[in-house]
A and B are shown apart, each in its own frame.
Chain A
């Protein structure tokens, strides 16, 4: 059975934006409010980062948010419980971004189980061992949630095709070499993004979303010329720290160029 993420992305108003926030950030209550506010603002899919002590793919803003959440006593299981409790009130599809260190501990033999049970619709493991991709894909399929592989600008075409063909939620195209967050780094290389999306297109039956280093409405507009969705993380995490749910929802509207009207 397929999951509903591809439909949600295809049915989204344009441009399709997938916001990323950190589970339990800045408090569990604020996180819950923000998820619901983003849902109301029209986000078709929301990506939730499960806090991890050593997020090597993340820049300083997201890493610091995760450290802060963990220092406050929040756990990965606590985030899953919070999502489970609010799941019925949220129409948006929820995707977990979770390190292999955590999936290994929460259920190595059936890694998608804990996330499906919490009500997530898809799972992304950014540091998945390439040899374990099919293990996670099988587990995700067993629980009818989307398996979302990452494809980088450095990924060889043959490998990109293999990963894309395994995807059931969407394919996460990494916009550039490097970590998350757009601060102080080179602006998006749209030709490189387009090449990466192109390598994926031929083999994927699901939508392609572009993330890593996107920070402005112009970035969102630019990448969604070729891709089906844009993923923005660091600015949303910063908005959570600055003002919580209402700031996050306002940022969503600003980045998608939509009026402040609920759907």
Chain B
């Protein structure tokens, strides 16, 4: 029934199609670079020396494996299933993003690309990219929307400390989607010497597959930890979904275990009206954005609609094409959690377990608490603790103060 973790990870169909989703919808200038990247990655994936170098970096520099932590007080608070957290917040730089950036920087070096660019929303991917570049002495430029620069000023400073140049993007909605546009524009002009490290399982093939593979160490470790600590597989695995890299990483480890239910949690924002949320799978429809066909929040003629979330990392109008395919097949169920619910979970997790989660992660926690309460005490729920909340304390303070001034709804 089960497969050995790490062996024969699933590959998408021809040219990166996940069922009807995926593909390479990019300007012709980038097509040869994507073909080159696809070939280089296919070789690296089979190359034992590349894989062992990456494993060594993840152990010695990133601090893997990350623990699987039991949450007894959160479990009691929900009065249901036993709750566990996969501690990606304890990975170097405080989030799962570093798993992907170390892999992609190694790949860039192998390809002879000496300059790195990236987009970032919450800033965690930007910090993880700047960190990997500092480690290897590569020049690094990060594109970040001006709205996110405001919300995540601490991460902007961290990136600069690490030697990266942060380019503030003031076009469109000034968030992650616009930062991605600018990064792609940079890449078109510099494609020969530059590698673009996309931070999530989005974008043109091979990025969704490659980023998923670099993140599946979360799921592979977690599955082994469940078997050794619980003596069984968990009943439910819960992860937040913006672009969806932490979710794809942990889900990949359990995808072939039919007894394990998988739940992706999107940003429900302020409500279900267009512009009030970023719940792409819950409310979106098939379309093309940033190089791939996937579920998107667009109007009826393909214009991207505004999105909102209290969490900068989930504030994105698209989602990885593999998630769109999992949604279609039903292998993963997707739900959404509002800003308020996520803020409550942020506070609850901090007080009950002494773990200050990222606002992104808080969405997964809120949904997991809800689900755990409906399950028997013998059941086990695993939350992917995708990042730590230190970056969010200023924004959380602002939101909690704002909420205390307005009457409860």
Contacts and interface: CB of A to CB of B under 8 A. Distances in A.
Please indicate whether A and B come from the same complex rather than being unrelated chains: yes
Interface of A: 52-57, 59-60, 63-64, 67, 70, 75-77, 99-106, 126-132, 149-156, 159, 163, 174, 177-179, 185
A99 B189 contact: no
A53 B317 CA distance: 12
Interface string B21-32: 001111111111
B190 to A, nearest CB: 8
Given A131-B23, A177-B189, A156 B32 contact: yes
* Chain B: number of interface residues, binned into ranges: 35 or more
Interface in B233-291: 286-291
Given A53-B304, A54-B290, A155-B32, A177 B177 contact: no
Given A101-B287, A127-B288, 19 more contacts: A53-B303, A54-B290, A59-B185, A63-B171, A75-B301, A75-B303, A99-B288, A101-B25, A104-B286, A104-B293, A105-B298, A128-B25, A131-B24, A152-B28, A152-B31, A152-B32, A155-B31, A174-B28, A179-B185
Given A63-B171, A101-B288, A179-B185, A52 B303 contact: yes
A70 B305 CA distance: 11
Interface string B13-27: 011000000011111
B301 A100 contact: no
A153 B29 contact: yes
B184 interface: yes
Interface of B: 14-15, 23-33, 171-172, 177-178, 181, 184-185, 188-192, 286-291, 293, 298, 300-304
Contacts of A106: 301-302
6 contacts: A54-B178, A54-B181, A101-B303, A103-B302, A104-B287, A129-B25
Given A105-B300, A105-B302, A54 B172 contact: yes
A179 B188 contact: yes
Nearest to B178: A54
B303 A126 contact: no
A177 B188 contact: yes
B191 A154 contact: yes
A28 B298 CA distance: 23
Contact of B172 (A53, A57, A75): A53
B295 to A, nearest CB: 12
Given A102-B301, A179-B185, A179-B189, A126 B27 contact: yes
Contact of A127 (B15, B26, B189, B298): B26
B172 A76 contact: no
Contacts of B290: 54, 56
Nearest to B184: A56
A216 B23 CA distance: 37
A104 B302 contact: yes
Given A152-B29, A155-B28, A185 B189 contact: yes
Residue of B27, B184, B191 contacting most chain A CB atoms (<10 Å): B27
B32 A178 contact: no
A150 B301 CA distance: 23
A197 to B, nearest CB: 15
Nearest to B32: A154
A152 B289 contact: no
Residue of A70, A128, A154, A156 contacting most chain B CB atoms (<10 Å): A154
